[in-house]
């Protein structure tokens, strides 16, 4: 158990719909990152939030957006869903400068777009 919880665990959406995924970071962690892991691939960095501001973004279109709240929990929103958005979405939290800089991952949300 890492203390990072994600909801829901599984989700099925129709192409063109919108989806919101949620992440509760480990207590005391102020940085949250989101990753997309397509089947059979390694996780791909989507973006990172630090103290409620986006401070890094990977190669994902603007229809992928996020929020971080004052309690450091986070949301990932995806608009106009496409079939290729089907993946495991992972959230990771950390608390720099902790010295270890370890990212703690949640169990993920499995999104299926049909």
Partner 1 sequence: AQSVTQPDIHITVSEGASLELRCNYSYGATPYLFWYVQSPGQGLQLLLKYFSGDTLVQGIKGFEAEFKRSQSSFNLRKPSVHWSDAAEYFCAVGAPTAAGNKLTFGGGTRVLVKP
Q: Which stretches of the chain bind partner 1, using CB under 8 A?
A: 2, 4, 30-31, 33, 35, 40-45, 48, 50-51, 55-56, 58, 90, 92, 94, 96, 100-108
Q: Do the Cβ atoms of 64 and 82 come closer than 8 Å?
A: no
CB closer to partner 1, 10 vs 15? 10
CB closer to partner 1, 33 vs 113? 33
Q: Tell me how far, at minimum, the Cβ of 65 lies from partner 1, in Å.
A: 18
3-state secondary structure of 19: strand
Name the residue among 21, 23, 7 with its Cα closest to residue 92: 23
Q: Is the peptide bond before 97 cis (omega within 30 degrees of 0)?
A: yes
Q: Tell me how far, at minimum, the Cβ of 108 lies from partner 1, in Å.
A: 5
Q: Tell me how far, at minimum, the Cβ of 41 lies from partner 1, in Å.
A: 6
Q: Do the Cβ atoms of 81 and 19 come closer than 8 Å?
A: yes
């Amino acid at each position: 158990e890492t203390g990072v919880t994600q909801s829901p665990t599984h989700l099925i959406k129709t192409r063109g719909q919108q989806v919101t995924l949620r992440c509760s970071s480990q207590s005391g962690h102020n940085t949250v990152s989101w990753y997309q892991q397509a089947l059979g691939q390694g996780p791909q960095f989507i973006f990172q939030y630090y103290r409620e501001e986006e401070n890094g973004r990977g190669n994902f279109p603007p229809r992928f957006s996020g929020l971080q709240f004052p309690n450091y929990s986070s949301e990932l929103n995806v608009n106009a869903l496409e079939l290729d958005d089907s993946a495991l979405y992972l959230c990771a939290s950390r608390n720099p400068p902790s010295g270890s800089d370890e990212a703690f991952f949640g169990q993920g949300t499995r999104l299926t777009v049909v």
